[in-house]
Structure 1
Amino acid sequence: MENPSEDPSSQLLLHNASCSLCPSAATLYFLPSIYALLFLTALPGNLLSLWVFLRCISSVSPTHVYLTHLSISNLLMAIMVPFLAVYYAMGTRWSIRDIPCQIVLHGITPVLHINIYISILILTWVALSRFTVLIRNTQPSRPSACISLLPHSFFSSLTRVSFANGVCATLWVMVVGGIVPVTVYYSMNEATRSEELCYSPMVETGGTVSSISSISPIILFFVLYLLVLVSYVTVLKHFRSSRRNSIITSSKCMVARVSRNIVVIQIVLSLCLLPYHIFKPIFIILAHYQPSSLHSCSATTCHPLSVFIELKNFLFLLAVLRSSTDPVMYFLLDRTFRQQTHRLLRNNKLGQMVWTTTGSGSQKTEKVGEGNVILSRGVSL
């Protein structure tokens, strides 16, 4: 293991350990409130989505498999969100050795990052797989060079549920295998190098190893983001250049649907995940690769990175916020999910109306007997 005294950035962070972070009211009150609200929306939304995918949809498609795994990941995120709310509200009062702080460092941190990159990979795969099938099926006579390089068996595999399960299992193994070792090293060797508060510069900035390791996921995100963007532009060009083709005319609805789905995924990546991944490299440079004169402080002053740390945490909130908005995205991505959810909610509403009407007292039933007959006829329809 590398000696921290030989690492200039480690020396700098240890020197600034006496400088405490000065969280603003936004961190102490706004972030905990938003995370609490996020828990109240993400948990029931993803539970409902998971129920629809697993119990209400009889004919499962590969897209349903991908969205099911995305719901499972979001559900894990929703369960962890209350700990984040407590961390921002109480982190300045905890010691780094306290059990709540250890839970955040060893349990919450890896789950949060696993959720973010699982969602990025699954959403990108959904966009690219639909794009690939669309281009091949709507232009079989002259497929593009990229499509012609892929074997025919690959396109048939895209329509199989077993292949989708294999893709999701591979993505989980890749993300967990890549993130867990880094977060374990961070929580055990970097964040706990000194006795201090839980919400501290050491915890929020990490060390050199975790910072360098985070560069690869950042690069991966931008590669995937550009792939989704290129696929959308290609679909538009493909549609415009082939509008008069009879095959395209007969498949106009499919082209429009795939184009809309890619747009939805691109919007989610842009609004929720792009700002955080743009700022993260800047934050790493500020935290570890600036001259020590820019980080000098005394025990009576706030840490120079306090404002940047708060900005990082607010951008991270946008990335976590996606777990609450994904159920809305499912409505736009999958028609079967939309229909089954409407049917489930409508049946529950009608069932509550029937229970309320038939569960009344005998006197009330006699007074509104005709209304019950009308209601029961409405249910039978």
Structure 2
Amino acid sequence: KFIIKVVLTVGLCIILIIIFLLAIPGNLLVGWVISISQHAATPSDVYLFHLTMADFLMALTIPFSAVVVVQGWIFGDFMCKLVSLIFDANFYTSILFLACISIDRYLVIVHASETLKSRQRMCSRTVCGAVWALGCALALPAFFNEAFKPDNDKELLICSETFDIGDAASWRVTIRAFRHIFGFLLPLSVMVTAYSITIGRLLHTRGFQKHRAMRVIIVVVIVFLLCWMPYHLTMMVDTLLRAKLIPFDCAMRRSVDKALAITNSMALFHSCINPVLYAFVGEKFRKKMKLLLQRRFRQERMSGSKFSRSTSQISDGSQAVF
């Protein structure tokens, strides 16, 4: 059992490190390409930029999770609240921006018109502000989190919610319900509805690009479900177990704790795969990145040729002097 525990701990820690190393440069690259593009940003570009910001900020909390896997929470109460707040706020905003992208794709493909596009550009930044405000508001229960030693563990501290006001079970069920509704069920419903109608429209159109867009949409929804559904299902079981709606069992408690750690890593993996799904798969983004890289390469070549000419002039001058 000890060897299995060590292998699982090391494996989970390595997975978290890999996710961190992929998510940080991936989201930075996507944000950089979108931000310096000379063309007018579409609503999807705006939502994608804010999505990369949310995923980037969420990825910054991964090293803390990796340390927790190895030796528990060692960073104190303040960092427990701060890291939990950052994770929860960007957990909500990331998923809500995915829903915003699905709505924008629906409007562009199903209700395409110039007047609608201009209105969407005007509203997209307002929508982004509302999403960030809602995400931060939904993350406020993170201030209930504290670092403490659970009764069944004499060695390691954990960072988890402690409800000292009122009935702890009621608080936990209410907050978890908000998490499941606004962090999974509602965005998933929006995505499935918007993309289903969009796919229905694409099926009645011809062209390689339309059918490629349909395949990308299907992949986006499947990856979202694979990454997030196990986490939310495990969290629901944990909520029912803590609320004593499921008979308490020590073996089940340990199994749920392990499942939460594993499914949390799967959910975090979504933050590094988002740039691939929404950017690198998209032909428009690849063209933008190619143009930017070509422009940067030309600038470097021009600066290099200027430097070589200046050095040759200096060399000629020195030969003339001597």
- Quick check: TM above 0.5? yes
| Corresponding letter in the other structure for 2:130 | T
Distance in structure 2 (CA, Å) of the matches to 1:280 and 1:26: 24
Distance in structure 2 (CA, Å) of the matches to 1:327 and 1:239: 24
1:240-259 map, 5 Å: 240=203, 243=204, 248=205, 252=207, 255-256=210-211, 258-259=213-214
Q: Which residue pairs with 2:160 in the alignment?
A: 203
Go from structure 1 to structure 2 and tell me whether the alpha carbon gap of 1:319 and 1:236 turns closer, same or farther (over 3 Å shift).
Answer: same
| Corresponding letter in the other structure for 1:166 | T
Matching of residue 105 in structure 1 with residue 105 in structure 2? no
* Contact 2:48-2:278 at 8 Å conserved across structures: yes
2:273 equivalent among 325, 333, 341:
325
Q: Which residue pairs with 1:214 in the alignment?
A: 176
* Contact 2:149-2:156 at 8 Å conserved across structures: no
| Per-residue CA distance 1:73-111 (angstroms, 9 max, x = gap) | 1221222211211121121xx6xxx5x143552122222
Distance in structure 2 (CA, Å) of the matches to 1:272 and 1:291: 25
| Per-residue CA distance 1:133-188 (angstroms, 9 max, x = gap) | 322239xxxxxxxxxxxxx98x355531x3111101100001101112x1112x14
**TM-score under structure 1 normalisation?**
0.66
Distance in structure 1 (CA, Å) of the matches to 2:195 and 2:150: 49
Unaligned runs of 5+ in 1: 1-22, 139-151, 297-302, 360-381
SS at match of 1:67: helix
* Contact 1:275-1:315 at 8 Å conserved across structures: yes
Q: Which residue pairs with 2:315 in the alignment?
A: none
Matching of residue 134 in structure 1 with residue 89 in structure 2? no
Unaligned runs of 5+ in 2: 309-322
The share of aligned pairs that are identical, in percent, is: 23
* Contact 2:44-2:104 at 8 Å conserved across structures: no
Distance in structure 1 (CA, Å) of the matches to 2:81 and 2:275: 28
Q: How big is the shift at 1:257?
A: 5.5
Go from structure 1 to structure 2 and tell me whether the alpha carbon gap of 1:113 and 1:194 turns closer, same or farther (over 3 Å shift).
Answer: same
Q: Which residue pairs with 1:270 in the alignment?
A: 225
Distance in structure 2 (CA, Å) of the matches to 1:262 and 1:327: 14
| Corresponding letter in the other structure for 1:237 | G
Q: Which residue pairs with 2:238 in the alignment?
A: 283
* Contact 1:57-1:340 at 8 Å conserved across structures: no
Go from structure 1 to structure 2 and tell me whether the alpha carbon gap of 1:124 and 1:265 turns closer, same or farther (over 3 Å shift).
Answer: farther
Distance in structure 2 (CA, Å) of the matches to 1:67 and 1:168: 10
| Corresponding letter in the other structure for 2:262 | F
**RMSD (Å) for aligned C-alpha atoms:** 3.5
Structure 1 stretch 171-180 or stretch 56-65: which is displaced more? 56-65
SS at match of 2:60: helix
Q: How big is the shift at 1:205?
A: 9.3
1:183 equivalent among 142, 145, 152:
142
Moved over 6 A (4+): 347-350
Q: Which residue pairs with 2:262 in the alignment?
A: 314
2:99 equivalent among 124, 134, 158:
124
1:69-88 map, 5 Å: 69-88=50-69
Distance in structure 2 (CA, Å) of the matches to 1:56 and 1:116: 27
Distance in structure 2 (CA, Å) of the matches to 1:219 and 1:40: 30
Q: Which residue pairs with 1:164 in the alignment?
A: 124
Q: How big is the shift at 1:288?
A: 2.5
Go from structure 1 to structure 2 and tell me whether the alpha carbon gap of 1:115 and 1:126 turns closer, same or farther (over 3 Å shift).
Answer: same
| Per-residue CA distance 1:198-220 (angstroms, 9 max, x = gap) | 545x8389852234311122123
Go from structure 1 to structure 2 and tell me whether the alpha carbon gap of 1:333 and 1:59 turns closer, same or farther (over 3 Å shift).
Answer: farther
1:223-238 map, 5 Å: 223-238=186-201
Q: How big is the shift at 1:333?
A: 6.0
- Largest Rg, 1 or 2: 1
Distance in structure 1 (CA, Å) of the matches to 2:162 and 2:77: 16
| Corresponding letter in the other structure for 1:59 | A
| Corresponding letter in the other structure for 1:172 | W
Go from structure 1 to structure 2 and tell me whether the alpha carbon gap of 1:210 and 1:348 turns closer, same or farther (over 3 Å shift).
Answer: farther
* Contact 1:27-1:88 at 8 Å conserved across structures: no
Distance in structure 2 (CA, Å) of the matches to 1:194 and 1:311: 18
Go from structure 1 to structure 2 and tell me whether the alpha carbon gap of 1:256 and 1:109 turns closer, same or farther (over 3 Å shift).
Answer: same
SS at match of 1:137: coil
SS at match of 1:203: strand
* Contact 1:127-1:261 at 8 Å conserved across structures: no
Q: How big is the shift at 1:56?
A: 3.5
Go from structure 1 to structure 2 and tell me whether the alpha carbon gap of 1:204 and 1:111 turns closer, same or farther (over 3 Å shift).
Answer: same
Q: How big is the shift at 1:51?
A: 1.3
SS at match of 1:289: coil
Go from structure 1 to structure 2 and tell me whether the alpha carbon gap of 1:274 and 1:104 turns closer, same or farther (over 3 Å shift).
Answer: farther
Go from structure 1 to structure 2 and tell me whether the alpha carbon gap of 1:46 and 1:277 turns closer, same or farther (over 3 Å shift).
Answer: same
Distance in structure 2 (CA, Å) of the matches to 1:237 and 1:340: 29
